[in-house]
Amino acid sequence: MSVLGDDARRFTWRARRRRRILIGVAAAVAALVAFVAVAVYSPIMSVREIVVAGTQRVDATQVDESLADLHGQPLALVTNDDVESRLQSYVMVQSYSIRVEPPSRLVVTIVERSPIGAVAVPSGYDVMDAAGVVLWTQSEPAGDIPTLELGGEGVDSEAFASAAGVSLALPVDFRAGVAAVTAKSIDDVRLTMRSGAEVVWGSAEESDRKAEVLAALVTATADQSISSYDVSSPETPVTR
């Protein structure tokens, strides 16, 4: 037997083996693609239930109706853009996230904008979030949202930034007891409580700490007639 003959047979055997391997791999890939396609586009894996979570002021039923045409779409192919295009008209929606729960549930969790103050306008009061987005307009001051008094400045001013930052730092329940946040300057912010007490806040710096101290002071002096709180130096607050 010649050496050349043996080499030729070995080469032919290797070529056939490589071809069988390639055919096997191609078949496996094709099967996988077919499986994925069937799984993705199968009616079993389409959107049949939409759960809307995280809403308080936004009507969850209306949101569900806005998303209704996603029913029947392949669950795995629903994107953020699909949801965004259907929620962009909701001013109260600050952000959202989506989660798919096979085989057929789509969960949309909404983060709402937080109303932190109302600014007087010719038509009434614009209720805004901390970014100055108008959430709604009402004819009278809100009973649970402070009025922001900016000395004639607009929402793009330092006065608004200071007043909004202070209001945002207040716990929601405590904020409801504040009638007005007045920003005479960036270093002179004051609160008027619905009880009539005045609060000297100072600048918007350390607002989280000041809010914590003020809430503790109000609780501790609930049985006293306090007309003024000064938390401009939060480590040495003063009551009168």
Residue 150: give its domain's CATH number: 3.40.50.10960
Give me the number of domains the chain comprises. Answer: 3
Say yes or no to pLDDT of 193 above 80: yes
Which H/E stretch holds residue 107? Answer: strand 105-112
133 and 66 in a common domain: no
User: Helices 207-220 & 158-169, crossing angle to 10 degrees?
Assistant: 50
Q: What Å distances lie between residue 186 and 31, 162, 178, 229, CA to CA? A: 67, 6, 19, 19
156 and 217 in a common domain: yes
List % helix, strand, coil for the chain (3-state, nearest 5): 40, 30, 35
134-138 vs 178-185, strand pairing mode: unpaired
Domain-terminating residue out of 112, 129, 144: 112
Could you tell me the pTM of the whole model? Answer: 0.78
197: CB partners within 8 A, 6+ apart: 226, 227, 228, 229
Region 91-118: mean pLDDT is 97
84 and 16 in a common domain: no
| Per-residue pLDDT reduced to its tens digit, 12-59 | 666 677 777 777 666 556 545 444 444 445 667 899 999 999 999 999
Host domain of residue 88 = 45-112
Among 16-25, 42-51, 113-122, 132-141, which is the least confidently predicted range?
16-25
188-193 vs 198-202, strand pairing mode: antiparallel
74 and 150 in a common domain: no
210 and 187 in a common domain: yes
H helix count then E strand count, the chain: 6, 12
Three-state DSSP state, 169: helix
71 and 169 in a common domain: no
Place 7 in a pLDDT band, splitting at 50, 70 and 90: low
Question: What ranges in 42-92 are assigned the alpha helix state H?
Answer: 60-66, 80-87
Q: Which of 175, 173, 172, 159 is nearest to 119 (CA)?
A: 159
Summary mean pLDDT of the chain? 89
